[in-house]
Structure 1
Amino acid sequence: MPNHSIPYKNTGYFSKLICDYLAEDESLKPFYNRFPNLENFKHQITEKQKTFTDDKRHLLAKRIMLQYGDNSLSQSTLSNIDLLKEHTTFTITTGHQLNLFTGPLYFLYKIFSAINLAEKLNKEYHNHHFVPIYWMATEDHDFEEINYFNLFGKKVKWDREASGAVGELSTEGLEEVKQQLKKEFGESENAKKLISYFSDAYTKHDNLADATRYLANSMFYHHGLVIVDGNDAALKKCFIPYAEKELTENLSFKKVSKTTENLTNLGFSEQVHPREINLFYLKENLRERIVEQEGKFYVNETDISFSKEEILKELYENPQRFSPNALLRPLYQEEILPNLCYIGGGGELAYWFQLKDYFNTVEVPFPILLLRNSVLLFPKMLSEKLEKLNTEIEELFLHQHELITRHTYKISKIAIDFSKQKDFLKQQFKDLYTLAEKTDVSFLGAVGAQEKKQLNGLDNLEKRLLKAQKRNLSDELDRLRAIQNQLFPNQSLQERQLNFSEFYLEYGEELMDLLKENLNPLDANFTVLEL
Structure 2
Amino acid sequence: MPTTAADVRRCSPADLNAFPDLFVDYCTNYDAVADFYAGDWREVGVRRDVAERAAARPVDREAMADALADQNAEWRGGGATQQNVEALRDPETVAVVTGQQVGLLTGPLYTIYKTITTLQLADEWAEQTGRTVVPVFWVEGEDHDFEEIAAAHVLRRNEVVSLPYEADVQENPGAVGRLPLTDEIDDVLDRLDETLPDSDFKPAVMEHVRAAYRPGTRIEDAFAQLLRSLFEGEGLVFMNPDDKRLKELTRPLFQRELDDPSTPAARVNATSQALRDRGYHAQVHARPTNLFWLEEGGRYPIDLADDGHFVLRTTDRTFSRSELQERLEAEPERFSPNVILRPLMQDHLLPTAAYVAGPGEVSYFAQYGDVYEWAGLERPLIHPRASVSLVEGKVQKVLDKYDRSVCDFRAQLDALFQEVVVETMDVDVDAIFQEATTEMHKALNALKPEVEDVDRTLGSSTEAARATIVEEMEDLKQRTVRAEKRHHDEVRAQLQKAQVNLRPQGALQERVVNVLYYLNKYSLDLIGDLRATLSTDTSSHQIVEL
TM-score (norm: length of structure 1): 0.94
Paired with 2:14 and 2:462, the residues of 1 have a C-alpha distance of: 44
Is this contact kept in 1: 2:411–2:507, CA < 8 A?
no
Could you say which residue in structure 1 is the equivalent of 2:378?
A: 365
**Does 1:352 find its partner at 2:365?**
yes
CA-CA distance at 1:187 after TM superposition: 5.9
For residue 33 of structure 1, the aligned residue among 38, 44, 48 is 38
Alignment-mate amino acid for residue 135 of structure 1: W
Identify the match of residue 422 of structure 2 among 392, 406, 409. Answer: 409
Measured against aligned partners, the alpha-carbon deviations of 1:19-68 in whole angstroms (never above 9, x if no partner) come to 12223354422211112114121121133233x13x52222211101112
User: Of the candidates 15, 21, 32, which is equivalent to residue 26 of structure 2?
Assistant: 21
Q: CA deviation at 1:116?
A: 0.9
CA contact (8 A) 2:78 2:235 kept: yes
| Corresponding residue number in structure 2 for 1:318 | 331
Aligned equivalent of 2:15: 10
Superposed, which structure 2 residues align to 1:188-199 within 5 Å?
188-199=199-210
Correspondence 1:157 to 2:157: no
1:492 deviates by 1.9
User: How far 1:83 moved relative to its partner?
Assistant: 0.8
**Distance across 2 between alignment mates of 1:178 and 1:22:** 38
Partner of 1:211: 222
Q: Structure 1: give runs of 5+ residues left out of the alignment.
A: none
Q: Letter of the aligned partner of 2:103 in structure 1? A: N
For 1:387, which of 388, 400, 404 is the aligned residue?
400
| Alpha-carbon distance in 2 for matches of 1:473, 1:186 | 30
Whether the aligned pair in 2 keeps the contact of 1:101 and 1:198 (CA below 8 Å) is: yes
Shift of 1:435: 4.8
Whether 2:287 is the aligned partner of 1:282: answer no
The correspondence of residues 23-422 of structure 1 with structure 2, limited to 5 A, is: 23-39=28-44, 40-50=46-56, 52-53=57-58, 56-125=60-129, 127-151=130-154, 152=156, 153-162=160-169, 163-173=173-183, 174-185=185-196, 188-203=199-214, 206-249=217-260, 250-293=262-305, 294-302=307-315, 304-397=317-410, 399-417=412-430, 418-422=433-437
Q: CA deviation at 1:501?
A: 1.2
Q: 1:247 to 1:425 in 2, by over 3 A?
A: same
Using the TM superposition, give the Cα deviation of residue 298 of structure 1 relative to its aligned residue in structure 2, in angstroms. Answer: 2.4
What code does the residue aligned with 1:323 have? S
Structure 1 residues 477 and 302, CA gap change in structure 2 (3 angstroms): closer
Displacement, 1:180?
3.4
Give, as a single letter, the amino acid of the residue that structure 2 aligns with 1:60: M
Report the residue type matching 1:36 in the other structure.
W
Is the Cα contact below 8 Å between 1:92 and 1:132 reproduced in 2? yes
1:495 lines up with 2:510 in the alignment:
yes
Cα distance, 1:123 vs. partner?
2.4
Q: CA deviation at 1:150?
A: 1.3
* 75-84 vs 378-387, which moves further: 378-387
> Residue deviations 1:182-232, cap 9 Å, x none?
433466452222222222212176312222222122111121111011112
Deviates more, 1:415-424 or 1:319-328: 415-424
Aligned mates of 1:242, 1:441 — CA distance in 2? 81
Distance 1:486 1:141, change over 3 A: same
| Map of 2:497 onto structure 1 | 482
- Taking the aligned partners of 2:350 and 2:449, their CA distance within structure 1 comes to 77
Q: How far apart, CA to CA, are the structure 2 residues paired with 1:437 and 1:347? A: 62
Cα 1:442–1:238 change in 2 (3 A) is: farther
- Amino acid across the alignment from 2:72: Y
Q: Which residue of 2 aligns with 1:525?
A: 540
SS of the residue 2:54 aligns to: helix
- SS across alignment from 2:201: helix
Number of aligned residue pairs: 528
Q: Matched residues in 2 for 1:217 and 1:510: separation?
A: 14
- Comparing 306-315 with 65-74, greater Cα deviation is found at 65-74
Deviations 1:337-376 (A, max 9, x none): 1111111211122111111121123221111112211111
CA spacing shift, 1:441–1:143, aligned 2, 3 Å: farther
d(CA) in 1 for partners of 2:379 and 2:453? 72
> Percentage identity across aligned positions?
26
- Residues 195 and 377 of structure 1: CA distance in aligned 2, closer, same or farther (over 3 Å): same
Alpha-carbon distance in structure 2 between the residues aligned to 1:298 and 1:427: 74
The separation in 2 between residues aligned to 1:408 and 1:363, in whole angstroms, is: 60
CA distance in 2 between partners of 1:291 and 1:333 (Å): 22
Native 8 Å contact 1:346 1:371 kept in 2: yes
Verify the 8 A CA contact 2:357 2:385 in the aligned structure 1: yes
**SS state at 1:301 partner:** coil
1:209 alignment partner AA: E
Q: What letter corresponds to residue 142 of structure 1 in structure 2?
A: D
Tell me, which stretches of 5 or more residues in structure 2 are unaligned?
none
How far apart, CA to CA, are the structure 1 residues paired with 2:442 and 2:221?
76
C-alpha displacement at 1:166, in angstroms? 1.1
1:375–1:528: 8 Å Cα contact kept in structure 2? yes
Given that residues 55 and 93 in structure 2 are in contact (C-alpha distance below 8 angstroms), is that contact kept between their aligned partners in structure 1? no
Pairing partner for 2:530 from 507, 515, 527 = 515
Q: Residue in 2 aligned with 1:451?
A: 466
Shift, 1:478, TM fit? 2.7
Give, as a single letter, the amino acid of the residue that structure 1 aligns with 2:132. H
Worse-superposed segment, 216-225 or 72-81: 72-81
